[in-house]
Structure 1
Amino acid sequence: MKKIFYSLLLIFCVITTSFAQEVFTVNGLCIAAPKTNDVDEFVSFIDTEIATAGINTLILRVDFNYAYESRPELRDDNPLSKEQVKQLVAVCQKHNIQLIPQVNLLGHQSWASTLNKLLAVYPEFDETPHVAIPEEYEWPNDDGLYCKSYCPLHPEVHAVVFDLVDEILEVFEANAFHAGMDEVFYIADEKCPRCMGKDPAQLYAGEITKISDHLDEQNAKLWIWGDRLIDASNSGIGMWEASMNNTWRAIDMIPTSVIIADWHYEKAIPTPAYFSLKGFDVVACSWRKPEVARDQVAMMHSLQNNSTPEMKSSLLGVMHTVWSPADKFMAAYKSFKEADQESESDVACFKAMTKAVAALEKK
């Protein structure tokens, strides 16, 4: 009987110690969903690499790479099947990884010279139909075209995009959804019959609130990128990682239940403290520079240690973002050498982030 008691006590101590060592609530990775031919390899990659690296949150950028049944007209060519998504769900559940699907809403409805599926099928949703997609894209350009946006006030747009949101939540068995919402340069366009003359902050906040309210009905949390909620001018951060078209004022108009993925790729700018003070849960995001990833880990840990309990609980952790296709990231990961650990690459940055977190958890 004593042996059983001490065995149970030992197991309890191991479990509680393990929980005590966790530094961050979120140790995340954001990456494009794999192509159909790469699903098996990606599942194995999660099983053998991602889970063992300590990742507990995986955001998959799905967009139109799924065989939607509610809106089959919005499927990309050769999209993921329901059965393939269930493979991804199963391996994440096996390792207690929170799986969060992403579909870009509002902005990022085009890329370079390609119009994405939503506006290609429903051109009436375009905020700037007078701006043509060029055959050869260059930045900067006379139209200020980076990516197209849909019009948030179009009376039919949400019936369409919410069908995608609902279906993707169900098939991924998810309790959170990432809506993108970053780098929105086209908003309140002066030629839009619905949006012209309106406050960009109110339009942006209205769209976030509408999406958040819709997700609330399904007990799901909304994640977004944080750049449009930061004042570019006063902060000196600039037009990419912050807003110069006044959407930043929306931070005081949206539900604080929204989770902010706060990306800064050149240095560990301490804006997570700003979001925390505003009442939002926040994650600091890196991309390609190992030193930035390490600095973000140290910054978030320092902010936690020097915060009130209320603020500490909102400083969720860190997340690495990958902007190359999943197959390229996996190939680079497999060929990675220790000599490359300080190189400017998404794999080096990912490894730097996970090693820095692991080092903190050992202390």
Structure 2
Amino acid sequence: MKAKILLLFTFLLSISSFAQSKKDSLFPVRGFCIGSPNTKEVEPFIKFINEELARRGVNTLILRVDFNFQFESHPELRDANALSKADVKKLVKACQANNINLIPQINLLGHQSWASKITNLLKVYPEFDETPHVKMPEKYVWPNADGLYCKSYCPLHEGVHKVVFALVDEICDVFESTAFHAGMDEVFYLGDEKCPRCSGKDKAELFAGEVNLIQNHLTLKNRNLWIWGDRLIDGKTTGIGIWEGSFNNTHRAIDLISKNVTICDWHYEQPLPTAVLFAMKGFNVITCPWRMPAVGVSQVQDLVRFKASATPEMKGKYQGIMQTVWSGVGNFLEEFYSKKEGDSQANCFRAIFEEINKIQQN
């Protein structure tokens, strides 16, 4: 009897191991990206990590930290009520217990303002502003005469990297991370004609120069760079548009940046197959849905098809899927546990991981 039970256990274990191996092969990265929690949300979010992310096999968590940490290198850049080192270590411990790779993000280059507010870096160091002549409006609207979406720092300012690299090193150390996400999406201000350092310079070279500088800095500590991929797509030629692609010629930087950079390829309204572009250019690429379950499921299915028809050189470039969340932790958890039907971040998250598990079982 004991021998039969042992045989059955071994059989079930082998099935489970095969299923996990298949999941790891098709979806090496099964990710989730969200803004870092505030201090009151740390414990509820850890519960979500333990009960929901781990159960679905999520193995990568990107937390958009920005200035929500009590930086010691530059305390002047801290948000009010920012996460303490002890808060972060709780998150690190939860992820390590569930074999989840935890990656912090600080927006570099672009997204140095939002709506009518300048974020901490340019607020404290206004000399880093690429477009100081563009004043923040009392009430933000798009489109506007200044072409203002978000401010950028000047990548050629002699003092900017001393500050931002101190933040990057500190946040990577406290998160015990082997990678760092620099954002770098939706960069509209770059090489401005009024910038004394950047004026007249090739925008693709400016963008690539910043990417490579960050990658090289991270390499010194055996860390890899992740960025969003939209600035590397020709938004005009493809018809993809100004948000998911570039209209200011940064797309040519795709041939100038290090192949060690991991590209997070986001498309939210339709499953555009640009992961193929990045894989063909030699990059590891991760497909990123947001709030439409049907689109997310198509993106999962596309990834399987891309890998099935890929050359051996390209097959391993398709790294997986990452659900993106663009509300705060509190709002997302409320949305997730309410279980309302229809298009939502929570339902997209459920749908893509249900599809991954379905594929794994076939």
TM-score (norm 2): 0.96
Offset of 1:142 from its aligned partner? Answer: 0.5
1:97-154 per-position Cα deviation (integer Å, ceiling 9, x unaligned): 1110000000000000110000000000000000011111111111000000000000
* CA gap 1:201/1:79 in 2 versus in 1, 3 angstroms: same
Within the candidate set 34, 39, 44, 2:42 is matched to 39
Using the TM superposition, give the Cα deviation of residue 86 of structure 1 relative to its aligned residue in structure 2, in angstroms.
0.5
Distance across 2 between alignment mates of 1:256 and 1:331: 39
Whether the 8 Å contact between 2:266 and 2:288 is mirrored in structure 1 is yes
1:346 is the counterpart of 2:345 = yes
Per-residue deviation at 1:55?
1.1
Counterpart-to-counterpart distance in 2, 1:175 and 1:119:
28
Q: 1:92 — aligned with what?
A: 95
- Give the counterpart of 1:275 among 275, 278, 285: 278
Mapped to 1, the partners of 2:361 and 2:314 lie a distance apart of 24
**Per-residue deviation, 1:19:** 3.4
Trace 1:222-261 onto structure 2 (pairs within 5 A).
222-261=225-264
Q: Secondary structure at the match of 1:70?
A: coil
Residue 220 of structure 2 is matched in structure 1 by 217
1:77 counterpart = 2:80: yes
For residues 178-327 of structure 1, what are the structure 2 equivalents within 5 Å?
A: 178-327=181-330
The count of corresponding residues between Structure 1 and Structure 2 is 358
One-letter amino acid of the counterpart of residue 109, structure 1: Q
RMSD of aligned Cα (Å): 1.6
1:105 to 89, 98, 108: 108
User: Is the 2:19–2:361 Cα contact (8 Å) retained in structure 1?
Assistant: no
Aligned partners of 1:131, 1:85: CA distance in 2, in Å?
A: 36
Secondary structure, aligned partner of 1:96: coil
How far, CA to CA, are the matches of 1:168 and 1:73 in structure 2? Answer: 15
Which of 63, 68, 72 is the matching residue for 2:71?
68
Q: Which residue number in structure 2 is paired with residue 19 of structure 1? A: 20
Matched, 1:152 2:155: yes
Q: Could you report, residue by residue, the CA deviation over 1:73-116 in whole angstroms, capped at 9, with x for unpaired residues?
A: 01000000000000000110111011100000000000001100
Per-residue Cα deviation, 1:2-21 (whole angstroms, up to 9, x for no partner) = 96996996587356414322
Question: Which residue identity is paired with 1:26?
Answer: V
The 5 A counterparts of 1:39-58 are 39-58=42-61
The farther-off stretch of 52-61 and 183-192 is 52-61
Q: C-alpha separation between the residues in 2 aligned to 1:246 and 1:358?
A: 39
Q: Please list every run of at least 4 consecutive aligned residues from structure 1 whose deviation after the TM superposition is greater than 4 angstroms.
A: 2-12
Structure 2 counterpart of 1:167, from 164, 170, 178: 170
Give the Cα separation in 1 of the matches to 2:83 and 2:20.
Answer: 35
Of 6-15 and 193-202, the range deviating more from structure 2:
6-15
Mapped to 2, the partners of 1:135 and 1:353 lie a distance apart of: 40
Inter-partner Cα distance in structure 2 for 1:191 and 1:273? 37
Letter in 2 for 1:212: Q
Tell me the CA shift for residue 50 of structure 1: 1.3
Aligned to 2:123: 120
* One-letter amino acid of the structure 2 residue matched with residue 17 of structure 1: F
Amino acid aligned to 2:155: P
Query: Match for residue 357 of structure 1?
Result: 356
> Residues of 2 paired with 1:207 and 1:8: CA distance?
53
Q: 1:119 to 1:333 in 2, by over 3 A?
A: same
Q: Name the SS of the counterpart of 1:99 in structure 2.
A: strand
Q: Could you tell me how far apart the structure 2 residues matched to 1:199 and 1:306 are?
A: 36
* 1-structure distance, mates of 2:15, 2:87: 35
What is the percentage of aligned positions where both structures have the same residue?
55
Structure 2: tracts of 5 or more residues without a match: none
User: Could you tell which deviates more after superposition, 10-19 or 193-202?
Assistant: 10-19
SS in 1 for 2:306: helix
